[in-house]
Amino acid sequence: MSKEYAMNLKANTFTLTFVPSKDSTVFVNAIEVVSIPNEVFSFQQDAIETMYRLNMGGFSVSPQNDTLHRFWEKDDDYVQDILGAVNVSVDPFSVKSSFDVNSEIAPKQVYATAKALKNEKVSNLTWVFLVNPNFKYILRMHFCDIISRLKHQLYFDVYVNSEAAVKDLDLSALTYDVGVPYFIDFVSKLNPSKNSSDMLTVRIERSKLEEESQNAIMNGLEIMKISNEARSLDGFSSAEAILPNSHSKIRNLVIAFLCSVLVASVFLALICFLYPKKTKGSSGELSLSSSGDYCRIFTLQEIKDATNNFGEESIIGVGGFGKVYMGKLEDGSGTTKVAFKRANPESKQGLTEFQNEIVLLSKLHHRHLVSLIGYSNEEGGEMILAYEYMENGSLSNHLYGPNMKMPPLSWKQRIEICIGAARGLHYLHTGTCHGKIIHRDVKTSNILLDESFVAKVSDFGISRKGPFADKSHVSTAVKGSFGYFDPDYFRTRHLTEKSDVFSFGVVLVEVVCGRPALDHSVETNRMNLARWALSCEENGELYKIIDRSLIGEVKVDSFNKVWEVAKKCLEENRMNRPSMGYVMCSLEHALQLDNNNFNSIVLGATTSDL
């Protein structure tokens, strides 16, 4: 099972304490702490617990398709009369942009589906939920008129239990068009009493204002429990009353968190997975690192044992920091593979980069960022970082690496990998509670792939925090990799997140071409891949850039969308480059276009095809 909470933080630290019930024990398998933009929640409660989050009229929406990593359950199990309901849906990319609703509020997949009344004989539709009547609840109702062709054709009422949440709702009057997302927050007023029902109902029905009111719809629904006067989400006892005093013999699990607070109120989403799961990794010291977060410290001997004393056969990569080894850690549940990055004493990257990577990665957690497991830095010893092992290596190895015996990546795989990397970078630029972070070394060799080819951004040795809110850039020495340098940053030494965007544009060109960003083995005019690709387009020869392994597979519209966003990323002036959020959405569009039945690009195609 899992639990999800949002807390209104007013300090830069908070503590999570697990207290066992009588004759019981405490365990937790995973904890995720994710910062939420302030505009997602405008209310000021101490804490809320997510009870239900539904996508009406469609399939479940996975965390991978939500920028805040939320899961949206399909609503069929909660509909009182499913026979009176009909599912409606449109292409998510036909959902129009809204100034008030962005992807942090809800993904477009939610607004692209809806439950509606099946026919004119059905007057209303009801969803039923089990709740604790001793608490109040925030209901966030998501709407998007995807069934009307013209404005002012859809009027309906919404009730929560017997109370009218909104009457005669005309979405187009609020959004000035059809197909535009909108949401309404409503606080239920359940009266705490022994006789209160433990059912909460949400009902939509045709408005009586218009005799010819066509229908009633709902696209999504979130129900969140509000903490009570005792600041509790479970009963009437405060946390202070439950926590044992310092003399108690009860053993608690206490976890402390550090989070930068940039404004007076910050909401954090806390997700605790409480289902039994075998843990990986051998026993070792758990210590508070210099970053202020928990991180395992390995002994040098542990790492030597895991890597066969740094045997040549264990080497899986070489980078600016040093060699990377695959190690195996034994525990009671089996063997766990770990990647150990061992510093080269002669490397230009040293203690600063080593500490920087620990400080950043121990604080960051995202599906598309490589996880730091621990490190070793014994006095007088070596600097070694330990990461989760990525079974399929780097993206560069699959595009043009020395071991090309592996099958080439399909066009769909390439887009999915780029989407994953874009999500990781978008999180760094916008989603952390530690402020904006600029990677500074985005390249295909730093995009790693797990056993399912899920992309994860790695190597944060030269990453740094972005400018404060009142600054446009950070002035700093130029660092990065040749072939990926942002020319604006190189020229002015002004670093912004748009430098990562430029580098990612080069990555997109590599993905299309199947060639490295810089290749000294070819003639001069082809040496710099991005420049050569842009010149091919100028000369009406864009077809020349496509990886030969993709010929006959790539859909025209899908390719054009990827090339379009790559060109925008490669703009000389950083002000003309898009955000990573825009890049991410454009690539998702390209993936959808790839699933459509368009003609494929073939070798020798004319530019009119492109």
Last residue of one domain, picked from the residues 226, 242, 262: 226
Statement to judge: residues 375 and 404 lie in one domain: no
* CATH number, position 111: 2.60.120.430
Q: Which amino acid is at 246?
A: S
Q: Domain of 328: which CATH number?
A: 3.30.200.20
Cβ partners under 8 Å of residue 170, min gap 6: 152, 154, 155
- Which one of 388, 414, 440 terminates a domain? 388
The answer to whether residues 400 and 468 belong to one domain is yes
292 and 328 together in one domain: yes
- Same domain for 342 and 449: no
Q: Which residues belong to the active site?
A: 441
Q: Residue 367: pLDDT above 60?
A: yes
Within this chain, do residues 11 and 97 fall inside the same structural domain, yes or no? no
Please give the pLDDT value at position 423. Answer: 92
Q: How many domains does the chain have?
A: 4
523 and 593 belong to one structural domain: yes
Do 427 and 529 reside in the same domain of the chain?
A: yes
Domain range holding 243? Answer: 1-46+232-277
pLDDT, tens only, 517-541: 999 888 888 999 999 999 999 999 9
Instruction: Give the three-class secondary structure for 212.
Output: coil
What's residue 233's pLDDT?
83
Does residue 317 sit in the same domain as residue 249? Answer: no
pLDDT of amino acid 603 = 40
Distances (CA, A) of 284 to 147, 255, 393: 58, 18, 27
Tens of pLDDT, residues 114-141: 999 988 888 899 999 988 888 889 999 9
Report yes or no: 147 and 88 within 8 Å, Cβ to Cβ: yes
Regarding whether 350 and 254 lie in a shared domain, the answer is: no
The count of other CB atoms within 10 Å of the CB of residue 345 is 8
pLDDT per residue as tens digits for the range 475-505: 677 777 888 988 888 788 888 899 999 999 9
Regarding whether 216 and 307 lie in a shared domain, the answer is no
The residue among 93 and 293 whose pLDDT is bigger is 93
Which residue spans within 227-360 are E strands per DSSP?
253-258, 266-273, 285-288, 294-297, 315-318, 322-331, 334-343
Query: Is 341 flagged in the annotation as binding?
Result: yes
Q: Are 572 and 487 in contact (CB under 8 A)?
A: yes
Q: Is 231 in contact with 45 (CB distance < 8 Å)?
A: no
Q: pLDDT at position 228, please?
A: 83
Do 500 and 364 fall within a single domain?
no
What gap in Å lies between CA 602 and CA 519, rounded to an integer? 25
Does one domain contain both 561 and 434?
yes
User: Widest CA span of the chain, in angstroms?
Assistant: 83
Q: pLDDT tens for residues 407-428?
A: 899 999 999 999 999 999 998 8
* pLDDT classification of 506: cutoffs 50, 70, 90: very high
End-of-domain residue from the set 388, 421, 444: 388
CATH classification at residue 548:
1.10.510.10
Average pLDDT, stretch 310-339? 82
| Cβ-based neighbour number of residue 277 at 10 Å | 11
Cα gap 542→513, rounded to integer Å: 11
* pTM across the whole model: 0.54
The C-alpha atoms of residue 18 and residue 250 are separated, in whole angstroms, by 11
Percent of the chain having pLDDT more than 70?
79
